[in-house]
Structure 1
């Protein structure tokens, strides 16, 4: 199963207890409460469910969904 931009957004929103519509794809997710523990949990889930091979450091460096998409193998 391929990871999509909307799936990333939904998973991030779920981890923050927010609605996906409230999570922008182009803003720093740290400003919305995303911390390193949640990033690790999301990354582990995506590795397990979608075969993602991204590194935690890469996601932590650019905590925005649109920045993550290419790192997570999402094709636009």
Structure 2
């Protein structure tokens, strides 16, 4: 387990915006991330990044979900306290 602080929704927003080369302020919780260009390669890179922070998440946990709100519903309970 990592010593990194718990993942927050704002961390998720920033990380997603980074892989999409967008400003985090542009991504609302209900934006369809697929419409923004999110693909399986980018999802895997996010999964790996968050695993390094101690979040037990898989590609399958996120692949069928398309918004930050959906992702946070999965990630929030899995974050390190």
TM-score normalised by the chain length of structure 1: 0.88
Report if aligned partners of 1:13, 1:20 keep a CA contact under 8 Å in 2.
yes
Number of aligned residues: 74
Structure 2: runs of 5 or more not aligned: none
Structure 1: runs of 5 or more not aligned: none
Matching residue of 1:7: 11
Higher helix proportion, which one? 1
Aligned-residue Cα RMSD (Å) equals 1.5
Q: Distance in 1 between matches of 2:40 and 2:10?
A: 21
Report if aligned partners of 1:13, 1:23 keep a CA contact under 8 Å in 2.
yes
SS in structure 1 at match of 2:56: coil
Q: Which moved more, 1:18-27 or 1:31-40?
A: 18-27
Point out 4+ residue stretches in structure 1 off by more than 6 angstroms. Answer: none
Radius of gyration: which is bigger?
2
